[in-house]
Amino acid sequence: MNFVSVRQLLTKSERGSSVHRPWWHYLHIDMPLLTGLLLIAAVGLLILYSAGGQNMGIITRQCLHLGVALLVMFGFAQIPPSTYQRWAPLIFFLGITLLMLVLVAGHRGKGASRWLNLWIFRFQPSEIMKIAIPLFLAWYCHRIQLPLSGRHLFIAATLMLIPAVLTAKQPDLGTAILQLAAGGSVLLLAGMSWYLLSSLIIAGAAASPFIWHLLHDYQKKRILTFLNPERDPLGAGYHIIQSKIAIGSGGLFGKGWMHGTQSNLHFLPEHSTDFIFAVCGEEWGLVGNLIIITLYMMVVLRGLQITVSAQDTFSRLLAGSLTLTFFVSFFTNAGMVTGILPVVGLPLPLISYGGSSMVTLMAGFGILMSIRTHRKLLTT
């Protein structure tokens, strides 16, 4: 695929869509995006059925999660972008307040306090921030002339770092990374200078020894393990070694559905959640992995189309950020499972078993659909 055709692909929909509107547009649903998401979810259920030990209970619950998430998506799609824009700062600051509350009075789960027990359901404010940060930054950037000047960049970055640091302190490094990805992608799209970006990366690398001291022991261990999994093959390195074995032993076509020994015999830890990509690799092989990657890239491509076709800066930045965050969460997970990135506890979006991150994710897609379907058709 060369550059020209990619560009054409990104702008093609814009030309054709104005003439005739399909029925789902009135429901504020973007069909190509929904199709991609449902395909991923369907494949995900298939993998999960095998990974979860052929347990229908898990599938039922995952379907429930999906149902709730789709409802949330549908709901979010109905709200016009202007409303999001209006509420963005409030949501952001409310989110930060909740994050602080979590640190003080959070419900402890898995050694980290992420949950806030709110009336009947528990939820994670850090998850909300994954959307609140791009909302707020898009709102902020919309108010100024782009590209971002150094001053605005500084203000925006600082505001973005507050929730990320609070989340990392919980400690939930994975979510913090996604928050940074969400915020960072807004800044990137808003024209943050490449020169600054590269110097930031260099500065970050230089500061890593100091950051090292701020990390929790288990986070340090994960990074050490990433650098050398064989350091502790039965301890911290076990996950990554077993994951690589699972994927590698899958070969080109895999061992077949429900025939993965690594996952079915529990050698692969967290095989229905964070490491489900390895199960796919084991049972479906390279072919299966490529299919999954293609599905994700279809969604990303559609997200970027929506971004480019959006009508104002706020929508564009928001749509682009949500799309790129989705990609980052996919890539971080796949990278960790294949051993090219350190192990951070991040699920494979839409496929890993679990409800809360899926709801946030689909809420984000709901916003994307809202951006897509609430366009005014005056421009052609």
User: What residues line the site for another protein (CB under 8 A)?
Assistant: 1, 3, 6-7, 10, 145-147, 149-150, 185, 188-191, 193, 242, 244-252, 261-262, 265-267, 281-282, 285-286, 289-290, 293, 297, 300-301, 304, 307-308, 313, 316-317, 320, 324, 327, 331, 334-335, 338-340
State the minimum distance, in angstroms, from the CB of residue 376 to another protein: 14
Question: Closest separation between CB of residue 340 and another protein, Å?
Answer: 5
**Which of 159, 189 has the CB closer to another protein?**
189
Minimum distance, C-beta of residue 187 to another protein, in the bound complex (Å): 10
Tell me, rounded to whole angstroms, the distance of Cα 12 from its chain centroid.
Answer: 26
Instruction: Specify the residue, 66 or 336, whose C-beta has the smaller distance to another protein.
Output: 336
Contact at 8 Å (CB) between 320 and 307?
yes
Pairwise CA distance, residues 31 & 339, whole Å: 34
DSSP 24: G
Tell me if 150 sits within 8 A of 141, measured CB to CB: no
Q: Please return the burial class of 119, using the count of CB atoms within 10 Å of its CB with bins 0-12, 13-18 and 19+.
A: exposed
Q: Which is nearer to another protein, 96 or 351 (CB)?
A: 351
Place of tokens 């996952």: 263
Spatial CA neighbour of 246 closest among 274, 288, 280, 282: 282
Neighbour order of strands in the sheet with 112-118: 107-109, 112-118, 121-123
Q: Provide the total of helices (H) and of strands (E) in the chain, helices listed first.
A: 14, 3
CB of 46 to another protein, least distance (A): 19
- Residue 128 vs 141, nearer CB to another protein: 141
CA–CA separation, 186 and 10 (whole Å): 18
**Of residues 80 and 335, the one with the C-beta less far from another protein:** 335
Q: Which residues pair with 317 in a beta bridge?
A: none
CA dihedral 6, 10, 11, 12 (to 10 degrees): 80
SS3 assignment, position 214: helix
Question: Shortest approach of another protein to residue 292 CB, angstroms?
Answer: 10
For 375, other C-beta atoms within 10 Å of its C-beta total 19
- In b/e form, how buried is each residue of 84-116, taking b as 16+ CB within 10 angstroms? bbebbeebbeebbebbeebeeebeeeeebbbbb
Rounded to 5°, the CA angle 8-12-14 comes to 135
Distances (CA, A) of 108 to 105, 117, 193, 343, 367: 9, 10, 41, 22, 31
Whether the CB-CB separation of 306 and 364 falls below 8 Å is answered with no
